[in-house]
Chains A and B, each alone.
Chain A
Amino acid sequence: MSGSEHATPEPPTPEGHGPGEHGSGEHHPFQAHHWDTMRQQFEAGKLGMWLFLATEVLLFGGLFCAYFIYRSNNPELFEYGHNALNKWLGAGNTIVLLVSSLTMALGVRAAQVGETKKLRILLALTFVCGCGFMSIKYIEYSEKIGHGYLLGSKFDYEKVKEHEREAREAEAHTGGHETEVFAAANIPAYVPAEKSAFVDAPRGPSGIAPIAEEVKPGHGAEDGAHGGPGVLPSEGRPRNAHIFFSIYFMMTGLHGIHVLIGMAVIAWLFVTSRDNRFGPSYFAPVEIGGLYWHLVDLIWIYLFPLLYLI
């Protein structure tokens, strides 16, 4: 075809866009052809990452919103649930992530001044902190799952009952100062009839209040096997206790996925930094990857007090 005169020199691949067309010879090897300067490219990348971080905040925002709505409508769920979480493990995770943010920030600095060796050490440290975080998360999750504290219809009321009885007995024996796991006895007696599991929404003009009354224990078909979201006021456990763990697992789970993605980014930076490519003229990937890692850290800084402490 007629394309012969211009088809041969360039393979029909996306790389036609890449380092090609730097005839003037002064282009940086990592400068894409549609940018005039490296600085312009860097600033665009950074703006893009900030926008992406905004979308991440909004993605988590949905869950935070669910948290606040359920917390304000059913505070007893959170009063009960947060006592079942191990705040020392949570605090350990917070420290690990804060340290990793420090090493990441120092790593960005190392990339900017071109100290590749230091950069690689700091990236490795950040990665190790990520592993530490996920390990602690693994221990925490295993403990919760082992005791039946699971999300939604997987919440195992029999196991939880068993665990709470043991915890109460242990408390009676030891005087109770070690058993952070279960301190629900402090909760004032919960009377389910006073407050529906449903939120207070039916106060609205059209008045469909009776819906709330229809929520019966084990109403969901799949819940029948283990009693469903039962009401056990005598043991100090509020109705629909599973909702706290739904929110807990979804928030920390989504955050955990983000930690894993961040670790993958750091691993990729570690591998690509082998060839000394990062230096004063080109450090955008490290800085932008660092921004993402800081966001992961920041979200945890909110998750920790909201779920474990208050």
Chain B
Amino acid sequence: MNAPETGTAAAPIVEAPPTPHHYLNHSKGFLSWALTLDHKRIGVMYLVGILGCFGLGGVFALLVRTELWSPGPTITSDPNMYNMWFTVHGAVMVFLVIIPGVPAALGNFVLPIMLGAKDVAFPKLNLGSFYLWVGGAIFFILTLLMGGVDSGWTFYTPYSAVTKTAVIPAVTGVFLLGFSSIFTGLNFIVTIHKLRPSGMTWFKMPLFLWSSYATAVIQVLATPVIGITLLLLIMERTLHVGIFTPAYGGDPVLFQHFFWFYSHPAVYIMILPAMGIVSELISVHSHKRPFGYKFIAFSSVAIAMFGFLVWGHHMFTSTQSPAMNAIFSAITFSVSIPSAIKVFNWLATMWGGSIRLTVPMLYGVSFIFLFSIGGLTGLHLGTLSTDIHFHDTYFVVAHFHYVMMGSALIGMFGGLHHWWPKLTGRMFDHTQGVIAWAFIFVGFNVTFFTQFILGSQGMPRRYYDYLPRFEIYHKISTIGSYLMAAGFLVMAYYLLHSIFAGKQAPSNPWGANSLEWHCTSPPPHDNFKSPPPIDDCYDYGGVDYDPRTGQYSSRADQPAASS
């Protein structure tokens, strides 16, 4: 809103170029957004929707934590209500927020620009996948209006086939979201294959593109299986076809296999793009070339491949044969090799770099810390003998929150801060950003590290009530969740504030060198007038810091700016 006005006011401000034309003011009106084929606008619409759903999922998380403040009834005396809260929290966060979070919102925005393309390969399909996401969100809202769903986000049969709650709308929503995810992945694969400008070879691509590519492969190859599984579940509920429910002759473990054949790779759909973001954050904010570029790139692909072969580790206690358990356990361990390659490469990238602890970098470093905890505790669960004890306890809850929230979401928020100046053309307040980060980081660890202890002492997950000896841990955990909520409220405040009153963002606020930072902030409608010259995106030698303005400029852009 501000940019056009500064333009009409006879351009009194020197540093603001007159009426900068960018994707946000390219055209106006509701339809110019609702029917846009511009990948940047679609990304922004996704982002708004996803952050809204994050708020919704967060409210349910707080309800769950508040209920667990004390044993017995705390804020509801109906345990089924509690079941619905954690189900809605899980389903919203997984399917509406984290899975589309990085690829569909941030990926849509930056992927084509980073690549040097004008758009994704199939812009109409891209818009279609956004509306599928909206359709999924509508079905989730419908689920809430119909009284919620209480099967847990995994929709395990036989319970999900017989519970009286609104399973069908929720499952239909997930089905639509699945196809939204497939089309995004398909679009990205074709974009990366076919829209790379000449000169942008595979090994010149920023690492975020490698991880997005690996993610897209999983999205395309795993998601259809959850689609058919959920259709079968709907058939089971309505027509009792006898595939998943023993009462009708079916096999509930088959549902678990089908479900996890998608949902375990889906964990990598969630974490891989965040890893890609972190690869960018660590390199850019350390002003140092990534250590072991090819290792980071190929480890993304390796994680995607391994991701398809480990689903059985969710069924260690579900009558799977001991031989299968041993095989799945071994493959699960091997996932830690590419994961560790990434972590050590990030640390080696930082070593000797000129690190600036900007807000994105704080999230990047937090990612390394939290992901290490989340990943290493995964080994406890991948080990057969210990999993027997940890299975279905808070240890599992803590483990996957360290991976899903502490890693995937923290990476996403790092990326959000990193690209926020590019998205909006505005800078957010650094101090408030650090305060919010501190609340989130501390709150997260208080909430979930406590749950490792809780779980190792035997507190089962998903329970409404608990023994008095667990009360102190539950109280600490709940306090931590409030700290996190406070952090996110501060973040919401300063990000919204920056849109209306933030400083104009320079085109390259962090001193990065990948292609999106060679565009103006926000980028113009067509991204690039002509195919951009492709140079080494991690060569920071040509990026100069101007101590007077506190901004970076790339020497390569100087002649272009003057012409």
A interface residues (Cβ-Cβ under 8 A, vs B): 1-3, 5-7, 10, 12-14, 16-17, 32-35, 40, 43-44, 47-48, 51-52, 54-56, 58-63, 65-66, 69-70, 151-154, 197-199, 201-206, 208, 211-212, 214-215, 219-220, 222-223, 229, 239-240, 242-243, 246-247, 250, 254
Contact = CB atoms under 8 A, between A and B. Distances in A.
Interface in B534-557: none
Contacts of B229: 62
B194 A54 contact: no
B122 A51 contact: no
Contacts of B333: none
Contact of B224 (A59, A154, A205): A59
Given A7-B28, A12-B29, A44-B195, A246 B242 contact: yes
Nearest to A229: B249
Interface string B317-351: 11111100100000000000000000000000000
Contact of B225 (A14, A52, A61): A61
B19 A62 contact: no
Contacts of B254: 66, 69, 199
A243 B35 contact: no
Contacts of B125: 48
A229 B248 contact: yes
A61 B31 contact: no
Interface stretch (B68-76, B233-241, B474-482, B502-510): B233-241
Contacts of A51: 186, 189-190, 220
Nearest to A209: B319
Given A47-B193, A66-B232, A219-B247, A14 B127 contact: yes
A204 B323 CA distance: 10
B319 A12 contact: no
Interface of B: 4-5, 7-8, 19, 21, 25-29, 31-32, 35-38, 117-119, 121-125, 127, 182, 186-187, 189-190, 193-195, 220-225, 227-229, 231-232, 235-236, 239-243, 245-251, 253-254, 258, 317-322, 325, 526
Given A47-B193, A51-B190, A198-B251, A204 B320 contact: yes
A32 B228 CA distance: 34
A223 B248 CA distance: 9
B27 A7 contact: yes
A59 B228 contact: yes
A151 B224 contact: no
Contact of B4 (A1, A12, A154): A1
Contacts of B4: 1-3
Contacts, number: 187
Nearest to B19: A2
A220 B240 contact: yes
Given A47-B193, A203-B321, A204-B319, A246 B224 contact: no
8 contacts: A2-B25, A7-B28, A10-B27, A51-B189, A66-B254, A152-B240, A152-B248, A205-B321
B227 A34 contact: no
Nearest to B223: A55
A242 B248 CA distance: 9
A217 to B, nearest CB: 10
B31 A13 contact: yes
A154 B36 contact: no
Contact of B246 (A33, A151, A214, A246): A214
B225 A58 contact: yes
B8 A152 contact: no
Given A51-B190, A220-B247, A44 B31 contact: no
B246 A14 contact: no
Contacts of B189: 47, 51
A44 B194 contact: yes
A10 B228 CA distance: 43
Contacts of A214: 246
Contacts of A70: 243
Contact of B317 (A17, A201, A206): A206
Nearest first, the 5 A-B pairs at minimum CB distance are: A204-B319, A62-B228, A12-B27, A12-B32, A246-B241
B240 A223 contact: yes
Contacts of A222: 240
Nearest to A42: B194
Contacts of A6: 21, 26
Nearest to B6: A2
Contacts of B26: 6
Nearest to B238: A152
Contacts of A7: 27-28
A242 B241 CA distance: 7
A92 B368 CA distance: 61
A215 B239 contact: no
Contacts of B253: 201
Contacts of A3: 4, 25, 27-28
Given A153-B240, A198-B251, A229-B242, A61 B224 contact: yes
A220 B35 CA distance: 48
Interface centre among A17, A47, A203 (most CB of B within 10 A): A17
A153 B122 CA distance: 43
Contact of B37 (A17, A52, A59, A243): A17
Contacts of A240: 242, 248-249
A205 B322 contact: yes
A201 B321 CA distance: 8
Contacts of B194: 40, 43-44, 47
Nearest to B250: A243
A215 B254 CA distance: 17
A12 B37 CA distance: 11
Contacts of A242: 241-242, 248-249
Contacts of A63: 228, 232
A3 B24 CA distance: 11
B190 A44 contact: yes
Given A66-B254, A205-B322, A152 B190 contact: no
B186 A52 contact: yes
B124 A14 contact: yes
B350 to A, nearest CB: 37
Given A34-B195, A55-B220, A215 B37 contact: no
B7 A2 contact: yes
A217 B221 CA distance: 39
A153 B251 contact: no
A16 B525 CA distance: 11
Given A32-B123, A48-B122, A215-B247, A250 B235 contact: yes
A14 B38 CA distance: 8
Contacts of B236: 152
B14 to A, nearest CB: 18
Contacts of A197: 249
A224 to B, nearest CB: 12
Contacts of A17: 37-38, 119, 123
A63 B235 CA distance: 12
A27 B31 CA distance: 27
A243 B190 contact: no
A54 B220 contact: yes
Contacts of B38: 17
A240 B243 CA distance: 11
Nearest to A219: B247
Contacts of B127: 14
A2 B246 contact: no
Given A3-B27, A240-B248, 6 more contacts: A1-B4, A34-B118, A55-B182, A59-B224, A59-B227, A254-B231
A147 to B, nearest CB: 18
A48 B121 contact: yes
Contacts of B35: 13-14
Contacts of A5: 19
Contacts of A10: 27
